[in-house]
């Protein structure tokens, strides 16, 4: 039976890092959105969601049952009156942003895992309204370079530990293949799952979360604390197969 709501991570689940979803994925998502509630939840900002997922969807996709949760669930947007409107936004204050940025910069120096002598591809520290994100190689680094930078996860673990030690009152978690995300305390993907369930009136147990990093320490693992059923995938190809099975059910 198709779940009453299906939540997807983006990078490594629907698409490669910072890449648009494939046309085949766009068609499958559109068909799934026509059948049930679909939500996208990831560490990126809203503009990234639009570029990677929403814009590639086929014309006529029924977006009224599509929900966007940028910045690791710190925001929720729904489609109303032909526009994406916020349901909630857990925004950081300017003072909080400054404090987080300073902690990130100090942690980079302490750990030494980022080679600062090599120019970054765009911003290394990006303020996303409800989240501050450290991208070790820069926001626009080539996918291949990002995928090779920290295959074991040790570099991100070191950075996360150093930042978390300086910011115990915030949520600090691994993001994508080169990133660390910082949000308000308790605001993470589990928070987003609960808020979505409350907003659309569907019990968490009747939803499904699909992600590529549900393993211990992965950026999807935290959703398990909500009790939501989960499925781990190895990449977009396996996600497409999963969606086909839901549509055939």
pLDDT the model gives residue 17? 81
10-51 pLDDT, tens per residue? 999 999 888 999 999 999 999 999 999 999 999 989 999 999
Query: In terms of domains, do 75 and 195 share one?
Result: yes
Of 66, 2, 19, the residue nearest 40 (C-alpha): 66
User: Among 74, 121, 119, 69, which residue's Cα sits nearest to residue 96?
Assistant: 74
Task: Judge if pTM exceeds 0.85.
Answer: yes
Q: How confident is the model at residue 249 (pLDDT cuts 50, 70, 90)?
A: confident
Q: Please compute Rg for the chain using Cα positions.
A: 17
> 82 with 117, same domain?
no
Helices (H), 34-128: 46-49, 70-73, 94-111
- Angstrom distance (rounded) from CA 208 to CA 220: 13
- Please check whether residues 53 and 103 belong to one and the same domain: no
Instruction: Find the CATH number of the domain harbouring 33.
Output: 3.40.50.1000
Cα 77 to Cα 64: distance, rounded to the nearest angstrom:
11
Number of domains in the chain: 2
User: What percent of the chain stands above pLDDT 90?
Assistant: 92
Same domain, 135 and 192: no
* pLDDT per residue as tens digits for the range 75-101: 999 999 999 999 999 999 999 999 999
DSSP 19-48: -PPPHHHHHHHHHHHTTSEEEEE-SS-HHH
Burial tier of 2 (Cβ tally within 10 Å: 0-12, 13-18, 19+): middle
CATH of the domain at 169: 3.30.1240.20
One domain, residues 80 and 117: no
Q: What is the pLDDT of residues 96-150, one digit of tens each?
A: 999 999 999 999 999 999 999 999 999 999 999 999 999 999 999 998 999 999 9
Residues 23 and 11 in one domain: yes
Which has the closest alpha carbon to 54: 81, 87, 83, 13? 83
* Residue where a domain stops, chosen among 128, 149, 184: 184
Q: Are residues 180 and 201 in the same domain?
A: no
Q: Of 136, 163, 184, which closes a domain? A: 184
Round to whole Å and give the CA distance between 225 and 90: 20
Rounded to the nearest 10 degrees, what angle do helices 236-248 and 23-33 cross at? 30
Q: Which of helix, strand or coil describes residue 203?
A: coil
Domain range spanning residue 196?
Answer: 5-89+187-248
Same domain, 20 and 141: no
Q: Are residues 171 and 201 in the same domain?
A: no
């Amino acid at each position: 039976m198709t779940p009453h709501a299906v939540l997807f991570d983006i990078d490594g689940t629907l698409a490669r890092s910072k890449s648009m979803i494939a046309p085949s994925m766009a068609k499958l998502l559109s068909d799934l959105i026509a059948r049930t509630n679909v939500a996208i939840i990831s560490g990126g900002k809203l503009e990234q969601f639009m570029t990677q997922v929403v814009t590639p969807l086929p014309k006529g996709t029924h977006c009224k049952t599509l929900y966007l949760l940028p910045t690791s669930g710190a925001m929720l947007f729904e489609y109303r009156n032909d526009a994406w409107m916020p349901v909630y936004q857990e925004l950081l204050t300017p003072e909080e942003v400054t404090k987080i940025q300073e902690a990130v910069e100090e942690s980079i120096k302490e750990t030494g895992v980022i080679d600062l002598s090599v120019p970054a591809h765009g911003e290394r520290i990006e303020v996303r309204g409800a989240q501050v994100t450290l991208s070790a190689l820069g926001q626009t680094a080539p996918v291949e370079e990002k995928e090779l930078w920290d295959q074991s996860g040790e570099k991100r673990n070191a950075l996360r530990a150093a930042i978390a030690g300086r910011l115990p009152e915030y949520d600090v978690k691994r993001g994508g293949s080169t990133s660390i995300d910082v949000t308000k305390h308790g605001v993470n993907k589990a928070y987003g799952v609960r808020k979505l369930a409350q907003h659309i009136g569907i019990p968490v147990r009747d939803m499904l979360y699909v992600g590529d990093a549900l393993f211990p320490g992965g950026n999807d693992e935290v959703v398990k604390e909500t009790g939501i059923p989960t499925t781990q995938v190895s990449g977009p190809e396996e996600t497409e197969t999963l969606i086909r099975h839901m549509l055939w059910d």
